[in-house]
Structures are given as structure tokens and as C-alpha cells.
């Protein structure tokens, strides 16, 4: 797809999984988009946020290594800060290109960082974006 520069996709395109996620509908979006204050369904590949909110929790935690849980920990700090999450079902269409999965050897360590943010109610990380601003 990238080599051919053919980026026009639709509900009917070949190879698409979860076809319902390719539907754009203002009506369906109004019915299904809502505030959510839990982690289920969080994925960095389809996340957006306001810059001021990102900075208020010090961005992504650079203690995370390799694959896993950095996006969930980021959202835990948002929720602990009182920032709501909202789904945009049927109004913000995106496609995820298949790729080989990353090494998960750091998952146990990353799980501990996520649990710490949950248990301690963290809304800030020490090793975050402020080091780059």
C-alpha cells in the first residue's frame, strides 16, 4: 500500500479487518461516542490529546523500554489528573497497517510501572517530556 502510494481505503477495500471501524457516520458517532474513564481499548495508534493536557501529566514516561503499557500508564495519569477520555467512534477513521510485533521482553517491568501509577494515583512522571522542552 505504501509502495504503491494507494492510500484510498473504504469499507469495501480488500484485507480490512473490523470493517465496522471503517464507517464514517455523524449519526452513529453521536450515538456511540462517549466519555470513558477506564483503560480498556487504549492504543497509542489511535489516540489524540490536547498539548496542554499532555504537558500537565509530563507526557509519556521515558522509563518504559520496548513494547507495552506506556500508553496505558500515560492515560492512567490523565485519569488521575481528572482529564476525561472520549471515544470518537465512527467520526475519526484510522487504519492500522500490519507490521511485525515488537519484542516484549520488557513487559513485566513495564507492567510494574503501570501498576505503580494506578496504585499510587500518579498524575505526573519524573522522566517525561519536560526534559525535552
Whether residue 69 is contained in a domain is answered as yes
Q: Minimal CA–CA distance to 74: which of 101, 35, 107, 48?
A: 48
DSSP conformational letter for 86: E
Query: What pLDDT score was predicted for residue 55?
Result: 98
Q: Print the domain residue range for 110.
A: 20-95+103-132
Whether residue 2 is contained in a domain is answered as no
Whether residue 4 is contained in a domain is answered as no
Q: Minimal CA–CA distance to 125: which of 57, 76, 68, 66?
A: 57
Q: What is the pTM (predicted TM-score) of this model?
A: 0.83
Whether residue 85 is contained in a domain is answered as yes
Q: What percent of the chain has pLDDT over 90?
A: 53
Query: What's the rounded Cα separation, in Å, for the pair 117 and 6?
Result: 41
Query: What domain count does the chain have?
Result: 1
Whether residue 64 is contained in a domain is answered as yes
Whether residue 12 is contained in a domain is answered as no
User: Could you tell me which residue, 109 or 93, shows the higher pLDDT?
Assistant: 109
pLDDT, one tens digit per residue, over 40-71 is: 877 777 788 999 999 999 999 999 999 899 99
Amino acid at each position: 500500500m505504501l509502495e504503491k502510494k494507494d492510500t484510498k481505503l473504504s469499507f469495501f477495500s480488500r484485507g480490512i479487518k473490523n470493517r465496522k471501524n471503517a464507517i464514517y457516520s455523524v449519526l452513529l458517532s453521536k450515538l456511540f461516542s462517549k466519555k470513558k474513564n477506564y483503560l480498556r481499548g487504549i492504543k497509542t495508534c489511535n489516540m489524540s490529546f490536547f498539548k496542554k493536557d499532555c504537558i500537565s501529566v509530563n507526557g509519556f514516561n521515558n522509563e518504559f523500554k520496548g513494547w507495552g503499557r506506556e500508553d496505558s500508564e500515560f492515560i492512567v495519569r490523565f485519569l488521575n489528573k481528572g482529564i476525561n477520555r472520549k471515544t470518537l467512534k465512527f467520526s475519526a477513521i484510522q487504519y492500522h497497517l500490519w507490521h511485525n510485533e515488537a519484542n516484549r521482553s520488557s513487559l513485566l517491568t513495564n507492567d510494574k510501572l503501570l501498576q505503580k501509577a494506578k496504585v499510587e494515583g500518579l498524575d505526573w512522571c519524573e522522566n517525561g517530556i519536560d526534559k525535552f522542552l
